[in-house]
Structure 1
């Protein structure tokens, strides 16, 4: 965190409503902090290193609020799979086939892929089920990548190293989480958080302990919630509300199966929502709830979910989320036998979903998410220099026409991570060779795993998961005094 830099000559989209956009703007950074923002002609600092953003757009670093870095080596493996096909492979085959060394490599690759695409912060929803060594490896991989991250350690009651399935495995995880948290500083670039046991997969009393633990220790906490339309899978929000467990700041992921009451409970408790548009559409989870969030005062954030299925590129998620919502809105007008005449959401909205809202979701809106003097310098330059034509609307082309190849500069807390289109300080050919070898290791290990499920087995896997969910959520009410018959009392 050192140096003095002047980003100059580009279209500066501060996303700070009090500053606005500056078409020929400049951003001054010193010692990792944004010192000033203004017109390029007014900002002359001969002692600063100049970063020329001409024909580019300068934006805050993007924030991905749900990314499984542990699956980065298996890029593309789930591109043609529905949710429960994908989950059965993930839990029963791919992750158990990933060694400790390959887990660290996968996590590092995931962080580098994020940086390469302009994502400066990720919430890594970790699912290192096998052992504490795997958990440490994923954490170390994130640190090696240089990305800003929340390592949301996943709870659960599967076997964990030498700890057996059930309470022993769950307790071993909680103890390890506490140990990892105790070894980190608030100023570390990678922070420890918690991902709840998948709602309904453990007895409700354990979910209660997890939520209370996160609250007590001030951990960013998340859960895959109401994630499957027409199913009770991960659907425990009413149960949490009934037991006073709707924690402020909790991040609810997917939320494609929310009732009106459930989204009201999230909003009333100041909860956050992370939307993974592409996997939700592909895997049959339901309609991404962008409009529902906005209408209830929740600022939606975006994620890629997993590069096992989709590209590790948040610009693509912004594009898809925006155009999907426009399509839904236009369709609603068509159903009234009218022609749509305007678009409610624009490219700035999509960019906010992927930056400012993401910073708010992970509890860092006071430090990142806008190009505001005093905030930490997480900055991205998206260039148009590869395009044949000029841009009539730079912000529009940056959001809807760009790919990671157009991300020219990436800075995290004042340190340049990508410049002139290439990652800085990384031996990419060597990392690429190691990643290829890591994938080969995993594919070889898959030969010793149970066979991939066929369609009827996947159906039974779903039904079994729903039955376990019913039993565990019902335990939320065991021992409680009967309150009367609702038909008689109503």
Structure 2
């Protein structure tokens, strides 16, 4: 007989985040397995693992809707530069040198620091698809880190001029492999989206083809719109 794990969070200031639901105030939360089963001012749960949240806020995890996670290990390189300098530093200088293992380590670092700061869901806008191995290792890190993520499959940073300067190239067909072999489920912890260049970085015809492919694959699209 399998015993479900029980965790009791005590004495925290509870913010539910539910529309129309007032802040709960100070209270306890009982978790059984991966489900919250009770929220109350005081809960008795013999045998449960107790987490003392006194003086802390207990709230749903935050959601980061646009994160270039592969850059996490070198994010300090872009603290005081403009967009053109960012393109030069990350796209032309750093990105082409990245190995699949560099991508894995960057993504894993980004995932773990996100979780440590209370962010439990990320949209990983990944434009480091230099090879299928780069893409696989990026996904490996998201899965190994245990975060909920939407993996946005972007473009390679090799032969960059052909991909982002009014490009007429269609999105890499490797996204089909990812959809079929790696991220076929829409209910998994890590799911797939298309990180498309959009009309800002590619021609309108290329944009139309990219959107059509995303619809064919049944995945969402996030486009790059740099000037509004």
For the aligned pair, the TM-score class normalised by the smaller chain equals 0.7 to 0.9
1:178 corresponding residue in structure 2: 176
Give per-residue Cα distances to partners, 1:438-467, cap 9 Å, x unaligned.
xxxxxxxxxxxxxxxxxxxxxxxxxxxxxx
2:16 to 11, 14, 31: 14
Give per-residue Cα distances to partners, 1:287-317, cap 9 Å, x unaligned.
xxxxxxxxxxxxxxxxxxxxxxxxxxxxxxx
Cα pair 1:103 1:134 within 8 Å, conserved: yes
1:207 corresponding residue in structure 2: 207
How far apart, in 2, do the equivalents of 1:141 and 1:169 lie? 28
Cα pair 1:122 1:150 within 8 Å, conserved: yes
1:144 corresponding residue in structure 2: 144
Larger Rg: 1
Cα pair 1:129 1:159 within 8 Å, conserved: no
- 1:18-417 to structure 2, matched below 5 A, reads 18-39=20-41, 41=42, 43-155=43-155, 159=159, 165=162, 170=170, 173=172, 175-183=173-181, 184=183, 185-225=185-225, 227-228=226-227, 257=228
Query: Residue 77 of structure 1 aligns to a residue in which SS?
Result: helix
Query: Residue 150 of structure 2 aligns to a residue in which SS?
Result: strand
Query: Residue 210 of structure 1 aligns to a residue in which SS?
Result: helix
How far has the Cα of 1:157 moved from its partner?
A: 9.8
Alignment CA distance shift 1:168-1:135 (3 Å): farther
Give per-residue Cα distances to partners, 1:93-138, cap 9 Å, x unaligned.
1101212211111111111111111111110000114222211121
How far apart, in 2, do the equivalents of 1:144 and 1:69 lie? 14
The RMSD of aligned alpha carbons is 2.5
Query: Residue 97 of structure 2 aligns to a residue in which SS?
Result: coil
Give per-residue Cα distances to partners, 1:258-313, cap 9 Å, x unaligned.
xxxxxxxxxxxxxxxxxxxxxxxxxxxxxxxxxxxxxxxxxxxxxxxxxxxxxxxx
Give per-residue Cα distances to partners, 1:370-420, cap 9 Å, x unaligned.
xxxxxxxxxxxxxxxxxxxxxxxxxxxxxxxxxxxxxxxxxxxxxxxxxxx
How far apart, in 2, do the equivalents of 1:25 and 1:217 lie? 45
How far apart, in 2, do the equivalents of 1:140 and 1:168 lie? 30
How far apart, in 2, do the equivalents of 1:47 and 1:59 lie? 24
Runs (4+) of structure 1 exceeding 6 A deviation are 166-169
Alignment CA distance shift 1:90-1:198 (3 Å): farther
Q: Which runs of 5+ in 1 are unaligned?
A: 229-256, 258-490
Normalised to the residue count of structure 1, the TM-score between the two structures is 0.42
**How many residue pairs end up in the alignment?**
220
1:270 corresponding residue in structure 2: none
Normalised to the residue count of structure 2, the TM-score between the two structures is 0.86
How far apart, in 1, do the equivalents of 2:95 and 2:39 lie? 45
Larger relative contact order, structure 1 or 2 (CA cutoff 8 Å, min sep 6): 1
Query: Residue 80 of structure 2 aligns to a residue in which SS?
Result: coil
